[in-house]
């Protein structure tokens, strides 16, 4: 049981929720102040570790490259929904960010001249779309792990204070400003209050909403829901990326670097079908294009063995190259499929991978509420929406997003701290947070969290994933609303306070159901197809009516929709061919 | 196929002694041991706890002892074993928090001890430091460590002789920096490890 009024108070300058690459990088920038990092897993376990193939920057180590080409590719990849002022900052800053990581100790793979090695990746091109360019820097196929470890170890060096296995349950607000947060300590069941001048959400995406995902179990959109609950609108939530190559049924990511190194997708007839969908880039077209192509092949009866997957063939690359450049991929295929990728193909299908939308921020991480920046609240990484990725993110742009914008956010926070102070905490909100846990433990309902989660993941996958239409979205909305009602009635079997995972899973589920509703409503009002959002009933892009960002906010009458314009600077929208 | 799981249970706030509980799970040979444990937790006994997250051997959360051998529950499939009878226990060496969850702080304190970060007080160049592929290859194995603690928990010295022994994982971390051509603190690092609890 949680004892009444037992909240332990922590005072800090900055409370960061999430210890993935974004959270750690923000902490390192602000380590001269009093920083607390809360993470619901151990800092070493964050989902950033699963990023495989690379991090982009126009270093030109292998061939001519330029930040303008990188910017163009990102904008075109986003189906012209990205805010181009943010993309320009990003592409220009990329080389500096890469050198900084290298100086910090990230063990990048090297080319023959000892520079950071680079390889091709989907949608990254030379000279505004001419042909693939080698822009992805990498540490074999464990780039995320290599960066996460280095940043974590740098945090150790700087003695940054971690609160491992702390689950943030609410943001504390005072007159529209964020003044701290409440958190549930998983090991003890104790509730804590963090009183902070600045709070940073760095909690990652929400892939667990969908049945098949490359995301970790911990990827439940907590920060998105925390912001949504205090009235922050969420931006572009309809744009969910499905990565083309997840291991069939399991969803485990098979890196795009495989295709960067030359692997080919083949249908049941053994055809290289991507030639028909993207004549120039073929298998290296952006992810939205490749995922849809795979599912069209399957729908038209050309899946492998008439089933719902296609093959990814690496066998022509040779064992040595696979072992050097893609060792993790090779081991995943061996472990989970019993497949030797040097001689046999991997069965793959699209898997939910990334949220392009999220908590709206400016290019320095300030969270943008309905009335401008929310004082004291910042967001970085996948949970934020700058908007850099628009309607579809290019591979390798995510890792770069984390380090470029977390650093900028850290600098903005240091400026902010100069005139900020700890504010009085709202007692009623703290008591409510405590009561929420009590009520959960005391609940006499009859619903089980696992069953509800399973139903949510299935309905979202069947009715709101790669292909969408009005009827399916309506059905999904009704189903999710029923699940939300049932979620009020969850019964816990474990009523203990010591490492109670059932409590955490129930809180996560209620977050995910709110986000599911936000995703469905946003997808319903966007009556066009753009990037990862494909409406079968509106198959074309409609710039006249929908070249704008969707905002969804919570209201007593259900989610409320509004819009904001897209920032267009250098590149006017054009049709998007690859 | 029918599998039998005998699982270590211990909640220090309730139980004086650990005990074992038996569960029956219907599993496919391709199912991960992690999937079976989740089936137990979600369908039979919600009070059973263990850590897990990525479920494909990258995050390092779900180290447990399967039939006496430390491994990641997400990397072992039911079909990897000859018998459908499984003994599931927490990894040894570390204090049990609850069931299969152990206190990892002793592990991370040894990790911190070896100064696991690049030390190079010299001027940084404006672009990357040069490192040849041959130099980079020297750390190719040690950067694969995901700090799951299976090695440290399996080490006979840690188990039977000296719990303060720094252990294999921290040594791997030390190796990763000693052999990194960009690091200049080799001598200090060797002195740091030169003790009865070191190597």
Domain total of chain B: 2
Tell me the residue range of the domain where B37 lies: 2-102
For residues B83 and B115, state if they share a domain. Answer: no
Strand boundaries in A363-439, DSSP class E? 366-369, 372-379, 384-385
Confidence of residue A273 (pLDDT cuts 50, 70, 90): very high
Q: Which of A103, A112, A493 sits opposite B47 (nearest CB)?
A: A493
Number of Cβ within a 10 Å radius of residue A326: 27
CB contacts, 8 Å: B118 with chain A = 104-105, 150
Which 40-59 residues of chain B touch chain A by CB within 8 A? Answer: 41-43, 45-47, 49, 51-59
For residues B175 and B150, state if they share a domain. Answer: yes
Partner A contacted by B180 (CB < 8 A) = yes
Q: What is the pLDDT of residue B160?
A: 81
Judged against a pLDDT cut of 50, whether residue A1 lies above it is answered with no
Mean model confidence pLDDT for chain B: 95
Domain total of chain A: 2
Q: What is the pLDDT of residue A44?
A: 87
What's the rounded Cα separation, in Å, for the pair B39 and A411?
A: 46
CATH number at residue A489: 1.20.58.100
Tell me the residue range of the domain where A537 lies: 427-542
Q: What is the pLDDT of residue A3?
A: 46
Number of Cβ within a 10 Å radius of residue A333: 25
What's the rounded Cα separation, in Å, for the pair A235 and A559?
A: 12
Q: Report the pLDDT averaged over residues A481-485.
A: 97
Q: Which of A102, A139, A150 sits opposite B128 (nearest CB)?
A: A102
Residues of A labelled catalytic: 287
Largest Cα separation within chain B, whole Å, is 62
Mean model confidence pLDDT for chain A: 96
Q: What is the pLDDT of residue A43?
A: 86
Q: Is A473 domain-assigned?
A: yes
**pLDDT above 90 as % of chain A:** 97
CATH number at residue B119: 1.10.1060.10
Q: Is A106 domain-assigned?
A: no
For residues B42 and B90, state if they share a domain. Answer: yes
- Pure H helices in A59-185: 67-77, 84-104, 143-157
Confidence of residue A2 (pLDDT cuts 50, 70, 90): very low
Judged against a pLDDT cut of 60, whether residue A196 lies above it is answered with yes
The nearest alpha carbon in chain B to A207 belongs to B54
Judged against a pLDDT cut of 50, whether residue A310 lies above it is answered with yes
**pLDDT above 70 as % of chain A:** 99
Kindly report the nearest CA distance between residue B49 and chain A, in angstroms: 7
Q: Report the pLDDT averaged over residues A476-489.
A: 97
What's the rounded Cα separation, in Å, for the pair A490 and A442?
A: 10
CATH number at residue A306: 3.90.700.10
Confidence of residue B161 (pLDDT cuts 50, 70, 90): confident
What's the rounded Cα separation, in Å, for the pair A364 and B165?
A: 45
Judged against a pLDDT cut of 80, whether residue A550 lies above it is answered with yes
DSSP helix/strand/coil, A233: coil
Q: What is the pLDDT of residue B78?
A: 97
Q: Report the pLDDT averaged over residues A58-77.
A: 98
Contact (CB<8Å) B182/A105: yes
For residues B145 and B114, state if they share a domain. Answer: yes
Q: Which of B13, B58, B117 sits opposite A498 (nearest CB)?
A: B13
CB contacts, 8 Å: A246 with chain B = none
CB contacts, 8 Å: A98 with chain B = 128
Inter-chain CB pairs, A–B, below 8 Å: 144
Predicted confidence (pLDDT) per residue in B83-102, tens digit: 999 999 999 999 999 999 99
For residues B60 and B14, state if they share a domain. Answer: yes
Contact (CB<8Å) A45/B182: no
Lowest mean pLDDT among A40-44, B100-104, B167-171: A40-44
Q: What is the pLDDT of residue A5?
A: 52
What's the rounded Cα separation, in Å, for the pair A243 and A398?
A: 13
The nearest alpha carbon in chain A to B30 belongs to A336
Which of B75, B102, B129 represents a domain boundary (last residue)?
B102
Judged against a pLDDT cut of 80, whether residue B122 lies above it is answered with yes
Contact (CB<8Å) A47/B53: yes
What end-to-end distance do the CA atoms of chain B give, in Å? 46
**pLDDT above 70 as % of chain B:** 100
CB contacts, 8 Å: A154 with chain B = 117
Q: Report the pLDDT averaged over residues B152-163.
A: 87
Kindly report the nearest CA distance between residue B141 and chain A, in angstroms: 11
Judged against a pLDDT cut of 80, whether residue A4 lies above it is answered with no
Lowest mean pLDDT among A144-153, A393-402, B159-168: B159-168
């Amino acid at each position: 049981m949680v004892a009444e009024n037992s909240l332990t108070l922590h005072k800090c300058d900055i409370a960061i929720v999430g210890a993935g690459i974004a959270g750690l990088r923000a902490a390192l920038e602000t380590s001269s102040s009093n920083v607390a990092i809360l993470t619901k897993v151990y800092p070493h376990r964050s989902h950033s570790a699963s990023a495989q193939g690379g991090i982009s920057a126009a270093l030109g180590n292998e061939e001519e490259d330029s930040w303008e080409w990188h910017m163009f590719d990102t904008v075109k990849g986003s189906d012209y929904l990205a805010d181009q002022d943010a993309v320009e900052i990003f592409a220009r800053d990329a080389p500096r960010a890469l050198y900084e990581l290298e100086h910090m100790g990230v063990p990048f793979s090297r080319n023959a001249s000892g520079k950071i090695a680079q390889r091709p990746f989907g949608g990254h091109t030379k000279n505004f779309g001419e042909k693939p360019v080698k822009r992805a820097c990498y540490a074999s196929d464990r780039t995320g792990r290599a960066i996460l470890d280095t940043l974590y170890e740098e945090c150790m060096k700087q003695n940054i204070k971690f609160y491992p296995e702390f689950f943030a349950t609410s943001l504390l607000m005072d007159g529209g400003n964020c003044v701290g947060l409440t958190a549930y300590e998983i090991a003890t069941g104790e509730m804590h209050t963090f009183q902070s001048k600045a709070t940073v959400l760095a909690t990652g995406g929400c892939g667990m909403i969908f049945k098949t995902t490359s995301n970790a179990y911990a990827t439940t959109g907590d920060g998105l829901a925390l912001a949504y609950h205090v009235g922050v609108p969420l931006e572009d939530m309809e744009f969910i990326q499905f990565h083309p190559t997840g291991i069939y049924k399991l969803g485990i990511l098979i890196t795009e670097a495989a295709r960067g190194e030359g692997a080919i997708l083949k249908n049941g007839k053994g055809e290289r079908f991507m030639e028909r969908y993207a004549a120039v880039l073929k298998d290296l077209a952006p992810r939205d294009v490749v995922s849809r192509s795979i599912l069209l092949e399957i729908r038209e009866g050309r899946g492998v063995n008439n089933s719902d997957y296609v093959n990814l063939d690496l066998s022509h690359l040779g064992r040595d190259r696979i072992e050097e450049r893609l060792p993790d991929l090779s081991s995943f295929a061996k472990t989970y499929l019993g497949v030797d990728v040097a001689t046999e193909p991997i069965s793959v299908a699209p898997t939910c991978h990334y949220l392009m939308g999220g908590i709206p921020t400016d290019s320095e991480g300030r969270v943008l509420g309905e009335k401008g920046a929310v004082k004291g609240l910042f967001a970085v990484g996948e949970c934020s929406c700058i908007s850099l990725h628009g309607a579809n993110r290019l591979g390798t742009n995510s890792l770069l997003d984390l380090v470029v914008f977390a650093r900028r956010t850290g600098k903005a926070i240091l400026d902010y701290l100069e005139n900020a102070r700890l504010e009085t905490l709202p007692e009623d909100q703290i008591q409510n947070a405590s009561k929420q846990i009590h009520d959960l433990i005391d609940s006499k309902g009859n619903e089980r969290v696992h069953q509800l989660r399973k139903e949510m993941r299935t309905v979202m996958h069947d009715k709101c994933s790669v292909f969408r239409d009005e009827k399916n979205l309506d059905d999904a909305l009704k189903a999710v609303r029923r699940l939300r009602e049932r979620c009020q009635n969850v019964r816990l079997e474990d009523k203990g306070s010591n490492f109670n995972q059932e409590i955490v899973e129930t809180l996560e589920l209620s977050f995910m159901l709110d986000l599911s509703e936000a995703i469905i409503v946003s997808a319903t009002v966007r009556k066009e197809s753009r990037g990862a959002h494909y409406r079968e009933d509106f198959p074309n892009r409609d710039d006249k009516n929908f070249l704008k960002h969707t905002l969804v906010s919570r209201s007593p009458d259900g989610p409320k929709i509004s819009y904001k314009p897209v920032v267009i600077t250098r590149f006017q929208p054009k049709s998007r061919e690859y | 196929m029918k599998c039998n799981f005998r699982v270590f249970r211990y909640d220090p706030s309730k139980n004086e002694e650990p005990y074992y509980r038996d569960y029956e799970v219907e599993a496919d040979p391709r199912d991960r041991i992690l999937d079976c444990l989740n089936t137990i937790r979600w369908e039979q006994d919600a009070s059973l706890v263990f850590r897990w997250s990525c479920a494909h051997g990258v995050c390092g959360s779900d180290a447990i002892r399967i039939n006496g051998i430390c491994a990641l529950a997400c990397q072992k499939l039911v079909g990897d074993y000859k018998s459908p009878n499984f003994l599931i226990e927490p990894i040894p060496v570390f204090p049990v928090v609850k069931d299969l969850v152990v206190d990892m702080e002793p592990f991370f304190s040894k990790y911190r001890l070896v100064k696991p970060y690049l030390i190079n007080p010299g001027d940084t160049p404006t672009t990357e430091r040069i490192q040849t592929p041959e130099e980079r290859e020297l750390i190719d194995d040690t950067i694969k460590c995901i700090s799951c603690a299976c090695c440290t928990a399996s080490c006979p010295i840690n188990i039977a002789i000296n719990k303060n022994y720094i252990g294999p994982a921290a040594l791997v971390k030390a190796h990763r920096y000693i052999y990194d051509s960009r690091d200049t603190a080799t001598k200090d690092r060797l002195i740091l490890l030169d003790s009865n609890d070191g190597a």
